[in-house]
């Protein structure tokens, strides 16, 4: 990796620490260099810029937002670059609400902000971002965070306008635009994305003696609205979910093919993790969340993302992975694979119980065409099966009815997580929605969620016979609610015991 050139020359003992970060080499200072580096570049404006794939869909989303908050200024930041260490940043990933409203993709657009300014009959929408700098600027050749020479070309205002379909302005105008007239205009800010903008707005609120508690409650309402706005996916989003599932499907083939290498490697779980990452990053934007590659007892650690373990031939390995498309929509799939290619009798018994729970959840979701089905019923259907099978295994200390009662719930010892969550731009999508819009909501066409029951018998669990200990199974599919029932978006994945065995055996 190269480093930014210092403007100040070699470090001296009295040089402030902050200035020493880029003292590894010296930037040319001569007028001759500046003239020469600014000249001779083919930097034609991209006048033929194509609209973003989502650009036909985002106006309706912004209009819904505008209608819900008449007369108020609405500020939706993308977020900024995050330092990983010293002078290296994480790859940028904007806030999902911002992506939903602008249609931007991949690593666009750090430090930008969408502002809806109230007008007589709605809002004027402006996207503030850092437009590309001229080749004659210092930024062009010397700014390792934003400069074109370092991080590649950026859009000018006209190009960004053509791509997003939103009027654009220079980010340097944003502080004034978002803080002006707060005595007469109320502002709502999507918090949690950009601390700089939060500080600007909160300071401006203090200056007009706004009631901070009321302001923060207003901000929360905006976050809730933007979360609930994503509960029903439009056709474009459904297409992107299909794309994410397709990339993930290919990634799981890569994972299965990597199993012999995983067994041979001391940290076989990392072999699996990186096999998936290679597919997700090659064909999509990357992984939508950290991959869980959990062999043996690690499968019973629900968010096992260290992935440092070995993968033994007789183990089950639980792989929970999802690729995020360039549009930033993600899949979320789990398959539990017998490394040897064959489930043992007890592994198979547990697998079939989990599969039956998943099937019951699918079946109740499909009933929405005949009667209203609320989201929580999907989980309840899976839990009835789990409780019955645990009783069959002789593990429940009470009757099935006692366990299923709210005062019981003993079966949840072996599945403490929920069965379903909404899925979309975030793996746990729509997380700021109200309970009656989420768990208590009726299933409606366009909803996308997971069905992911599991059973987890930890190696340290003294309440199960030894043969169960160190076995964890989860089966997770991605589901679209349709007019006719439900569609399993991940139907292309091997799912039954026989299908999964054939899949693994085929790669051995
Ligand atoms: N991978 C996270 C989840 O399944 O919810
Ligand atoms: Mn999930
Ligand atoms: Mn998952």
Q: Which residue has the tokens 């054939």?
A: 502
Out of 228, 252, 285, a domain closes at 228
**Same domain assignment for residues 180 and 285:** no
Per the CB < 8 A criterion, the answer to whether 470 and 441 are in contact is: no
- Residue 384, CA distances (Å) to 104, 185, 188, 412 in order: 42, 53, 43, 11
What is the distance between the alpha carbons of residues 474 and 497, in angstroms, rounded to a whole number? 13
**Same domain assignment for residues 239 and 224:** no
| 166 in any annotated domain | yes
**84 CA to centre of ligand 3 in angstroms:** 25
**Same domain assignment for residues 145 and 259:** no
| 440 in any annotated domain | yes
**149 CA to centre of ligand 1 in angstroms:** 39
Count H helices, E strands: the chain?
15, 17
| 259 in any annotated domain | yes
**Same domain assignment for residues 299 and 198:** no
- Residue of the CA atom closest to atom 3 of ligand 1: 332
pLDDT at residue 1, rounded to an integer:
53
pLDDT at residue 2, rounded to an integer:
54
**Same domain assignment for residues 169 and 291:** no
**CATH code, domain with 286:** 3.90.230.10
| 246 in any annotated domain | yes
**Encoding tokens for residue 460?**
């340290």
**Same domain assignment for residues 455 and 476:** yes
* Strand 187-189 versus strand 73-77 pairing type: parallel
Out of 179, 208, 228, a domain closes at 228
What is the distance between the alpha carbons of residues 242 and 495, in angstroms, rounded to a whole number? 18
**156 CA to centre of ligand 2 in angstroms:** 39
Query: Three-state DSSP class for 176?
Result: helix
**Residues written for the chain:** 508
**Same domain assignment for residues 135 and 274:** no
* Domain encompassing residue 378: 235-507
Q: Which residue has the tokens 């437009």?
A: 131
pLDDT (tens digit per residue) in 55-96: 999 999 999 999 999 999 999 999 999 999 998 999 999 999
Angle at 44 between CA 40 and CA 48, to 5 degrees: 165
List residues near ligand 1 (CB under 6 A).
Answer: 289, 320, 332, 421, 427, 452, 476
Per the CB < 8 A criterion, the answer to whether 25 and 5 are in contact is: yes
- Residue of the CA atom closest to atom 4 of ligand 1: 332
The ligand whose atoms approach the alpha carbon of 304 most closely is 1
| 51 in any annotated domain | no
**Encoding tokens for residue 298?**
């690690």
| 42 in any annotated domain | no
pLDDT at residue 7, rounded to an integer:
46
**261 CA to centre of ligand 3 in angstroms:** 24
| 15 in any annotated domain | no
**489 CA to centre of ligand 3 in angstroms:** 14
Regions of the chain where pLDDT drops below 70:
1-13, 18-24, 45-47
Sign of the torsion angle spanned by Cα atoms 229, 178, 328, 61 = positive
**Same domain assignment for residues 218 and 307:** no
216-253: buried (b, 16+ CB within 10 Å) or exposed (e) per residue? eebbeebbebbbbbbbebbebbbebbbbbbbbbbbbbb
* Strand 323-324 versus strand 286-287 pairing type: antiparallel
Helix (H) or strand (E) holding 454: strand 454-457
**Same domain assignment for residues 207 and 223:** yes
| 41 in any annotated domain | no
**Same domain assignment for residues 180 and 250:** no
pLDDT at residue 28, rounded to an integer:
87
**Same domain assignment for residues 214 and 265:** no
**102 CA to centre of ligand 3 in angstroms:** 27
Out of 199, 228, 257, a domain closes at 228
**Encoding tokens for residue 129?**
């971002």
pLDDT at residue 134, rounded to an integer:
86
* Strand 73-77 versus strand 83-85 pairing type: unpaired
- Ligand 1 atom closest to Cα of residue 421: 5
What is the distance between the alpha carbons of residues 224 and 221, in angstroms, rounded to a whole number? 5
Beta-strand ranges (E) seen in 149-258 are 167-170, 187-189
**Same domain assignment for residues 109 and 66:** yes
- How many domains, the chain? 2
Q: Which of 288, 290, 331, 332 to mutate to test the pocket of ligand 1 (most atoms within 8 A of CB)?
A: 332
- Ramachandran assignment for 101, one of left (phi > 0), alpha (psi -120 to 50 degrees), beta (any other): alpha
**CATH code, domain with 187:** 3.40.350.10
Per the CB < 8 A criterion, the answer to whether 355 and 337 are in contact is: no
- Ligand 1 atom closest to Cα of residue 334: 4
Q: Which residue has the tokens 């601390």?
A: 195
- Ligand 1 atom closest to Cα of residue 321: 1
Question: At 55, phi and psi to the nearest 5?
Answer: -60, -25
């Amino acid at each position: 990796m190269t480093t930014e050139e210092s403007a100040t020359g070699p470090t001296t003992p009295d040089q402030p620490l902050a200035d020493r970060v880029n003292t590894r080499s010296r930037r040319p200072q001569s007028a001759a260099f500046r003239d020469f580096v600014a000249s001779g570049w083919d930097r034609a404006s991209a006048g033929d810029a194509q609209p973003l794939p989502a650009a036909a869909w985002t106006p309706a989303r912004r209009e819904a937002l505008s209608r819900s908050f008449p007369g108020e200024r609405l500020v939706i930041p993308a977020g900024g670059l995050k330092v990983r260490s010293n002078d290296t940043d994480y790859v940028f990933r904007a806030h999902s609400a911002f992506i939903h409203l602008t249609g931007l993709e991949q690593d666009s657009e750090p430090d930008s902000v969408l502002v809806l300014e109230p007008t007589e009959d709605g809002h004027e929408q402006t996207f503030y971002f850092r437009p590309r700098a001229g080749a004659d600027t210092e930024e062009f050749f010397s700014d390792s965070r934003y400069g074109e020479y370092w991080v590649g070309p950026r859009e000018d205002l006209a190009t960004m306008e053509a791509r997003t379909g939103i009027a654009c302005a220079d980010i340097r105008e944003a502080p004034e635009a978002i803080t002006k007239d707060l005595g007469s205009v109320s502002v709502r800010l999507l918090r949690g994305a950009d601390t700089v903008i939060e500080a600007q707005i909160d300071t401006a609120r203090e200056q007009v003696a706004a009631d901070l508690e009321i302001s923060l409650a207003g901000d929360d309402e905006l976050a809730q609205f933007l979360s609930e706005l994503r509960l029903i996916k439009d056709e474009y989003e459904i297409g992107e979910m299909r794309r994410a599932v397709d990339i993930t499907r290919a990634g799981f083939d890569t994972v299965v093919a990597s199993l012999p290498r995983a067994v041979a490697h001391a940290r076989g779980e990392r072999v699996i993790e990186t096999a998936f990452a290679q597919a997700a990053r090659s064909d999509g934007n990357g992984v939508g969340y950290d991959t869980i590659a959990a062999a043996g007892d690690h499968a019973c650690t629900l968010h096992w993302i260290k992935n440092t373990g070995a993968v033994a031939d007789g183990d089950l390995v639980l792989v929970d992975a999802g690729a995020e498309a360039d549009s930033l929509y993600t899949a979320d799939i789990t398959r539990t694979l017998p490394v040897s290619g064959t489930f043992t009798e007890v592994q198979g018994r547990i697998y079939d119980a989990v599969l039956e729970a998943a099937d019951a959840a699918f079946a109740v979701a499909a009933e929405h065409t005949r009667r209203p089905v609320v989201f929580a019923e999907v989980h309840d259907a899976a839990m009835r099966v789990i409780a019955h099978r645990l009783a069959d295994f002789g593990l429940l200390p009470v009757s099935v009815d006692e366990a299923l009662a709210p005062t019981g719930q003993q079966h949840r010892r072996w599945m403490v997580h929920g069965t379903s969550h909404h899925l979309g731009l975030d793996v746990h999508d729509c997380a700021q929605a109200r309970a009656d819009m989420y768990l208590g909501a009726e299933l409606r066409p366009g909803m996308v969620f997971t069905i992911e029951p599991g059973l987890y018998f930890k190696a340290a669990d003294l309440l199960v016979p030894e043969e169960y200990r160190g076995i964890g199974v989860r089966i997770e599919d991605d589901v679209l609610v349709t007019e006719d029932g439900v569609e399993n978006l991940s139907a292309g994945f091997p799912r039954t015991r026989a299908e999964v065995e054939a899949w693994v055996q085929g790669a051995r």
